[in-house]
Amino acid sequence: MVNDLYFYVNNIGKIIIKIIGTDFIYYKEINNKLVPLTADENEIVKNILNSKNSTILFSVKLNSIIENNPNLKNFETDLTFYLEWLENFIPWEFRNDFYTNLATLKINFIDNNSINNSIGGYYDTKNNQIFINKYLMNHIIDKYKNNKNFEIIYTNGVMHEILHELIHMASTHIDKNGEIKSGLTTVNDDSYTDGISEGFTEFFSYKCPKMLKLFRKTSGYNIEMYFAAILTEIVGEDVAFESYFHLHDTSLMEEKLNQLLPEYDSKNIFKLINSNLNYRKYCLHTNDIYNQNFVEYIQKTLISYYKAKILKNIDNNTKTEEEILQSINNVRENLITNETLKKYKTSSLQIEDSLKDFEEFALKVNNMLILKRSL
């Protein structure tokens, strides 16, 4: 008689296998007790153990793809670190599009005659090609080649741009109707989610350990990225991953937000984030002043959702004190300030109001936790 078989799965934990006759019954171990898996967890476990493809030797599969794609193998910069990081970053159940697209991906450096000179690059979803602006990349090299921190600057300029586009590629999927889905959007659709999709792409890119936070403020999508970071604290990282790499829309995030504040129409937040990005692009193109109150409204609304989430966590004891305090610090790091808006030659006194509101809430939560600890 053998002891119980077990293995570990990310986001579930230790899985125990009970063999009854010819049936395998799966449980998760919580506090030394066996708890039945949920239907979704059962599906994940069965997909792991019954898949025809390897779900263990991911790096072997990745290395094979690189070796067999000459565009990657012979690329002027070694992409292995970034591809291995991205492979591990994407939850395993959402990696198929990453592997499929990577196998035929082409990366092209093009001059400024054939690409908008204000952008670093883009991903062509239809033809599975990344285009990088050679002019801007050469500008970085020429300007900083004698700087002692050149390697760091190059990584956070050139390589960051490539990584951003690789994340777009990893999330791109053609559905059974032939529609191209990428990130949180349907390509060539009149989508209100383009802005937040770019925000999450940029937010994810800065999870890479070679990308330094201090460069975030220079990002062309820094405002959308900060919104994505706060949204992740509200809806959870698992929802963000599923929405971006699998559902390709904001429906699940909207559902989670509506559960917190039913009186708000959560869809409007994503519409405003998109409108704000388009308006900012317009101002940059026309050299007009970026004069709007979208940003403060969005930030205030996101703070309202976040407050509801944290109070619910405290009431239901679903987060530890350490987790709540860490989450508050995470949001604080991603709040937009007038310093953020300086880049766009604008500012807003109302932004200061939202920051004050957040700090007052953070103090209130801290006092609630102290009181709870003393009971």
Pairing of β 33-36 and β 106-110: unpaired
Residue 150 belongs to some domain of the structure: no
Query: pLDDT tens-digit profile of 304-346?
Result: 999 999 999 999 999 999 999 999 999 999 999 988 888 887 7
What is the b/e burial string over 39-66, where b = at least 16 CB atoms within 10 angstroms of the residue's CB? Answer: eebeebbeeeeeeeeeeeebeebbeebb
Q: Is the residue at 15 inside a domain?
A: yes
Q: What is the pLDDT of residue 179?
A: 93
Residue 53: the pLDDT is 45
pLDDT reported for residue 163: 95
Residue 359 lies in a domain: no
Residue 32 falls in which region: left (phi positive, over 0), alpha (psi -120 to 50) or beta: left
CA distance 264 to 45: 37
Tally the domains of the chain.
Answer: 1
SS3 154: helix
Q: What is the dihedral of CA 163, 167, 170, 174, to 10 degrees?
A: -130
Provide DSSP, 13-75. Answer: EEEEEEEETTEEEEEEEETTEEEEPPHHHHHHHHHHHH-SS-SS-HHHHHHHHHHH-HHHHT-
The reported pTM is 0.83
The predicted structure's pLDDT at residue 341: 87
- Residue 117 has a pLDDT of 56
Residue 31 domain-assigned (yes or no): yes
Containing domain of residue 26, as a range?
A: 5-50
Residue at 38 is within a domain? yes
129-133 vs 106-110, strand pairing mode: parallel
What parts of the chain have a pLDDT lower than 70?
A: 1-4, 10, 19, 21-22, 48-59, 112-118, 347, 349
Task: Give the C-alpha separation, 86 to 134, whole Å.
Answer: 24
Residue 329 inside a domain? The answer is no
Task: Provide the pairing of β-strand 121-124 with 106-110.
Answer: unpaired
CB atoms within 10 A of CB 225: 23
Residue 201 lies in a domain: no
CA dist., res. 37 & res. 34, Å (int): 9
pLDDT tens digits, 280-300: 888 887 888 888 888 999 999
Residue with tokens 């059974």: 176
Domain-embedded: residue 17: yes
